[in-house]
Every structure is written in C-alpha cells, then in structure tokens.
Chains A and B, each alone.
Chain A
Amino acid sequence: MTLLGQFALWTALLLGVTVGALGLSGAWRGRPDLTAVVTRAPAAILLACAVAALALWRGIIGHDFNIEYVAAYTSRNLPTGFLVSALWAGQKGSLLFWAVVLSLFGALAQWLTSRRYADLLPYVAGVTSIAVAFFVCVMLFAANPFDRLAFTPADGRGLNPQLQNIGMIVHPPMLYLGYISITVPFAFAIAALLSGRLDTGWIHAIRKWTLVSWLFLSIGITLGMWWAYVELGWGGYWAWDPVENASLLPWLTMTAFLHSVMIQEKRGMLKRWNLMLIVGTFLLSIFGTFITRSGVIASVHSFTQSNVGWFFLGFLIVSAVLSYTLLYTRWPKLEADTRLESVLSREAAFLFNNLLLVGIAFSVLWGTLFPILSEAVKGTKITVGPPFFNRVNVPLGLLLLGLTGVGPLIAWRHASSANLKRQFVAPTAVGLLVLAACLATGMRDLYAVVALTFGGFTAGTIVQEFWRGVRARMRMHDEAAPLALARLMGRNRRRYGGYVVHVGILIYCVAFAGMAFHRTEEATLKPGEAIEVRSPFGHTYTLTHVGLSQYDELNRTVTAATMAVAVDGRPAGMLTSEKRQHFVQPGDVSTRRPTFEPSTEVGIRSSLREDLYLVFAGAVDDTETAVYRVNVNPLVWWVWAGGVVLVLGGLITMWPGGGALVTAPRRVPVAARVEPAPQLVGAEGAP
C-alpha cells in the first residue's frame, strides 16, 4: 500500500509540475490539443492524490503499524470514526488530506466554471496544479506519510485524546476546505492577470467560489471555537492564539473582498484593490499554514516543530513576489472606470468597511508577529495577548458594526438628503431606543452600551429592508406576507442572503459582548460541600459536590466528578465533569499502558442566557475531595446560533439560480420576465 501511495504522489508531482508549466506559460494558446490536456489534467491529479489518500486510509484501517504515521496516531482500540479522522490528525496525513482537497477544487474549478471563461481555465489549471505539486513536494521531501518503520510495533501510540472529539472530526476538514478553496479565486485572479482579460469577467467567474471558501472558513472557525470550548476546558472559545488568528486573517480579507467586489461589478472601481485583496487572502492562508506548522511563534496548540514550515515560508515568499510583480505589470490596465462621486454613497461606505476590515486584519497580524518583530528590531521579545487584541479590535469592530447598518441604507453614487431621511430615520430611532433602554437599566460599560446601540441600529436597518421589500411585493402581487418574504429572498438571493449573514454577525457581536461578563470560581470540596456562583443575570448557582466514581470505558479510564446544581435554591439536576486517562492495550490487561497526559471532559449546562461550565481539575490525594472550577459564561449559546444563521445566509446567497444582484437586469431582457424585476420595486437604496 505504501508503494502505491508513493507512486501516486510522484505521479501527482510530475503531472502538477508539467501542467503548471504548460498552463502558466501560455504554451497552449492556439493549440486545442494542449488546451484540452491542460484543462483535463486536474482530474488526473485528483485521481492520483485520491489514490494516495486511500492507500493511507487502507493502512490506518488495517492497523498497519509498520507505517510510521499509522503507529504514531492510531491504536487498535481507537473507534472507527477517529480512525477515519486520523488521516488529518497529524502533520503528514493532513498534508496529504490538503493535497487531495486542493486537487479536488482544482478539478471542480474546471468542471463547474462556465465555458464563457474558457480562455481563463488553462491558466487556472496551471495555478491549482502548481499548488498541488507544492504540497506533494513537501510530503515527498520533508514529511512523507508513507514512511515505514524499521520494525512493527504491536500497537500504535493512539490518538491524542483532545482530538477524540466529534468537533475534531469535522472542524479541520471544514477549515481546510475554506483555506484550500481560496486557491481557486486566487487562480482566477492570476489567470485574469496573465491573460490580460481584466474586465469584470473573472470577478463573475469567482463570485461563487469566493463565497464557498468564505462559508467553509466561517464554519471551520465556528467549529474550532466550539471544539476549544468543549474540549480544551479553559472556559472560553477564543483566546487570540496565533493559530486562531491565522484562520481569522484570510476570513477578514475575504469578507472585505466580498464587499468591495460589488463596487467593481456595479461601478467599475477598485480593480487593483480587489486583486490585491484576493492575492493577499491567498497569501494569508499560506502564512497561516506556515505559522501553524513551523512553530516559529509560540502557540499553545501547534504542530510539532519541523522543517515543513520553511517550505511554506519559501512558497509564501515566491507566491507573493510573483503575484505582486504580475499585478504591477498589469497596473495601467486596471484603471478605474469611474470615480467616487460623493463621500455620502454606498461606495464610500463599502470603502470604509474595507479599510476597517483590513485594519483589523493588520492589527491581528501585527499582534501575532509582534514577538518576532520586537526581537528583530529591539532585541527583546515582547508579546501581546488577549488584552491587546481586545483593546484594538473592539473599537474597530464596533465601528464596523455601525457601518453594517449604514451600507445597505445609503444610495449608490450620491445619497440625496431625501434618501438619507427616508432610510435612516427608523433604524436610528431603534438604535436610540436601545441606548435609552441600556442607560435606564443601569448599564454603564461603554463598549457594551455602544455595541448594543449600534446593534439596534443595524438590526433596524435589516428589518426595514425586509419590511419594505415584503410590503412592496404584497402590494404589487397581492401575496400573503410569508409568500412575499420567500419570493423576495428567492429572487434577490445575494442581497437578502447577505442581510441574513449580517444578522448572524450581529448575533455573534452580542454574544461576544456577553462573554465580557463571565464569572469564574475555583474550590476544593469534600462530598457534601458546596460552592456558590453569581450569574451576571442576577441569580445564584449553588453547586454541591456529590462524589467521584471511577470506571473503564473503551480506550480510557474515567474518573467522573458529579455536582448537584441548584438555581436560587431550586434543584436543577446534576452536572458531571470527567478526568480521562487513555491507554493502549495490545493484548490482555497486563499489556495496558497509559498514553498521553490525563485529559478533562468538561460538564456544560447550556441555556439561552448562559452556560454553566464545570471543570473537574482532579482529586486531592486519592480521596473523594475534588478540585473544581466553575464558570458562568453568558450568551455562549448565541455564538453557535449566530454561526448557524451566518451559514444559512451564506447558503441563500450562493444558492444556484435566482439571478445575480447586479448583472441580472443586464443579462436577462426585462421583457422576457413574467414579473417585473423585484429590484425595481425594492427600496430606493437598492441597486
């Protein structure tokens, strides 16, 4: 099997390099035969990578512990689901997984792209194939998942318990899908630059691709937060760790791109900026991979240090230099078609939004790299942590939240005072009402008050947009409200899907603000003793230590600590947290030996208002006395809810059909429509 895997990898490498050279050099121009080869090759590369992955999976499932990777990450007693996910649990396997997904996207880009962009596709094939070749190259020369050991161990070392979680089966693939699919928009951008076809064509070609990667990245980040929250046991979901920041950076620049690209579609501006953003997003995704895998920046959760990182740094530098040089040579061709007419316009609002998003991305990058920068410049390493990121990003994020409310309201080109009055009165009133309510209830935390006020304003905007659209449809088509709403969204998917995404972001913001009010208590308790924790919502939890129990389960020994929970004196069930010691056991019980440090399984009692989060930190000297930490985390449920709304919105936006926001009226003759285009009956602010 390893031989087959090795062979498949070499095939992928050779194909990738050849197609890359042919595709990027433009040698296929005027040669239909070569063009066909280049555009079909990504399917062959996909096949080669898939064969390699299947070969490794075969080794994992068949417990072939002679393969170093299989011995290092699995064991005989590992449940099947985790055997499957072991493919991406370690450095080497995850590189292979990456190559497979990347080649899949490379092939999909060829299959799913409209023939209208046929002259871009060979270039796209060139870029995606080179990228696959790079990953295969890293495997073959630095981290080969098919390496064999000189001997065959009786059993493997097992999978790290923290990776034995459902979140870990789904989180990395989602994040990878997001990270990896960024390559497709990047490939189209490079294709547009190489071909010199710099009209808005390539923008249309990648619109959905960008949304796809944005969506996967959003899901991946949210699942990552969830995994950290339920598995790492420190009580929160976001710690501004370099690895987390690495996933946030491309998300921020991609979000900026998704907004600014509308200006290019609508007004022919920002061509250079958009190209810089998409190239930058790709580079940030590679940068993220570099810091996750090289260990250059101290992170609590990073892969083992290895020289793999330097491959990524090399790739990063080469890609950056080549892409930006290419962009520079095409600079004069990227002149904007129009100019900004007024600062009171949607263009300007979007530009400010872009500046803020890029500003946030820059500050996150700066904070992440600061230890290295300060050491290089001043000779002493200075680190910044969560206080820095919160200090910088909370005000910027709040401004952005405000702009989220402004953007959809303000007219393109030049907002008249009539437009401003008509659009802003209601949302502003909502914002002010929220402000008054905050002050009346005695809330004095500046950021929380501003967050809720801006949140109210933005929510007002979204509701007003929906309300006006629905009302117009109800009047014109005599439809009932639910039908009008469904049709309104169905026919303006980008616009209303976008608003749903904004609702998701709004929910996130409120949930994040809530976390600022969390409470923590620690206690050492004998059975029968209790600890009290006050909730920021005013009630009091009383947790009474009931006792400990110990038992074996599957591949671990569990020590479970149980507490009886009471809310304001009323009993509210039990909550259990576990310490788990995993083991491998190649033969009978006498061959059992522990693997890894003990791990904690937290107990969570979740409600709409707050989570009660219980950590059993250990027993005192093998008695029944237990050490606990209890957190009350407000509004955590809403983070996951916000994620779901965001994903729904994203799906609505990219659902096939339904017509594009801007181009539909141009492409489809209005006369051919049975009904007038809904855009025409929407609010004045509609394009």
Chain B
Amino acid sequence: MQLAPAAAPGPGRDAGAVPGRRWTHRLRRARDLAGVVPFAAYVIAGLVLPMAAIGIGAFKTPFTGAFTLRNVHDATHGIYLHGFATSMELSLIASIVPGILGFLIAYAIYTAKRGAVLRRVAITASGVFANFGGVPLAFLFIATLGNTGLATRWLTDIGFNPYNNGFDLYGLGGVAIVYMYFQIPLMVLVILPAFEGLRPAWREAAQNMGANGWQYWRHVGIPVLAPSVLGAILLLFGSAFSAYATAEALTSGTIPLTSIQIGSFLNGNVLAGQENVGYALGLGMVVIIAMVMFVYVVLQRRAARWLR
C-alpha cells in the first residue's frame, strides 16, 4: 500500500518540532496521494455521484421534489418485487452454471499437454465471445434457435422439434441459455490466470508427501483457487444482473427483469413522469449487489484464511 508509510508513526512525526522537516513530510504525503487522484476522480464521477443521485432520486416526488417513500414502496411491491426475484433467479442460473462450465474448460486448457497454442486460441476466442452481446446476440439466437431458426429446422427435420418438447427461447430459460454465450468465455478469461498461479512445486511437494490427485485438489488446489472462483462468479452475477438489451430484444418485457423495468422508466416512450420509481429500482439493484459483495467478502475471508 502506497499510503502506509505516510500514515505510519515514524521519525517524521516525532520530529514535528522542526518546521522544515514537517514541511517535507507533508510534501511527500501530498506526492503519495497525487497518484490516486485520477482513480479517485474516476470513482467519484463514475460511481459515487451516480449512486448519490440514485439514492436521492429514489426518495423524491416527481415535479415537486418533496421527500417520499412512495417510490421505494412501489419498487418493492407487485410486479417490481417480482422483477427483483426473476432478475436474481436468472442471474444465479446464469452465473453458477457458466461458472462451473467455464471452470472445467479452463482446467482442461490448463492441463492440456503442449497447450501453448490452444491456450492462446482459447483466450483470444473467449475475449471475442465474452464481448458479444446486445441485440445482435439476441438476433443470432433468434435466427438459429428461434421457432423457425436454422438449427430448429434441422432438428425438426430429424424428428425432434425442440418447441414441442418444452424448449422456449423466449422465456427465462432461453434468456439464460443466451447469456451462457458470453458468460462461459468470461469465466474462462478470468479464471485461467488463477490456474496458472498454481505452482507446479506445490503439486510435487504434495506428491512427495504421498498425496493422491484428489487429496492435492482437496487440500491445496481448491482452497487456493476458491477466492478467485468466488470472485469470478460474482463478476458473472453482476454481468447477468445488469444485462439488458439481449433480454429486451428476446422477450419484449414478458419476463419481468429489473433492468428492463428501469429502462421503461428512464428512456421509454410509454411511462411518463415516473423516473423516480426507476431510481428506487436502481437503488434496489445497488442494495442487492452490495449484499452479494458482503457475502463474497465473508466467504473470501474464510477461503483466504488457509493462505495466511
């Protein structure tokens, strides 16, 4: 930590009686802090101010600006409460399943023999897939797995119409499947470096002491990877929770998702003068992410204890 030396009690502070030294100490301290100014400005402009605006807007009456609890009440009842539940259900499915699949793929890449080329190809491909989203992605799936999509027609030709067997691209399950398209590669991208952080020496040491493969993973590999895996799944959760355009293009709002509901208030053409309920929904999303972060920090502390 950059700030630690400046804050630590040391000779500089004890020698405060000498004005010149106090002055240089302050200068040094200012210089140390200067390094974080761009980041702090970024965080303030990109996170603190928007959150403050959402927090204030959530308790305001439209037009008059008077304080009210009405927006928060609306946002936590009826279809909007249902929206939070559906959003969380979708985000959990679309973070845990791709988390597991991405983990296994990354493991396969990590253990592949002569895997240098494979690794490079996989990382590049993952980088491309993980950033493909929005309406184009929705259309890609509509054209392949939609009710008259290419793949659907092939399957129907060989006697299996997925739509007659419970499959529906335009429901919650369909949206979750579409999200896998960018979530799995995202998981591969963020978890592969963690695998590469596992030192071969640890495995050799474990084997020297008679551990088998399972024991190595049980007592060394998984505990070391756990914080990274949790962090990656949290990232996937946030990505699915805030995703918007793909679900909107696929479902026209027939499944209630908080991000789509916020969109209806903030940039829609139908609901006028209710942006403040949108702010209240935004506040709810912030609270949910904060709770998930809290659980993550607690779990990570437990996982990291082993490393100390």
| Chain B associates with chain A | no
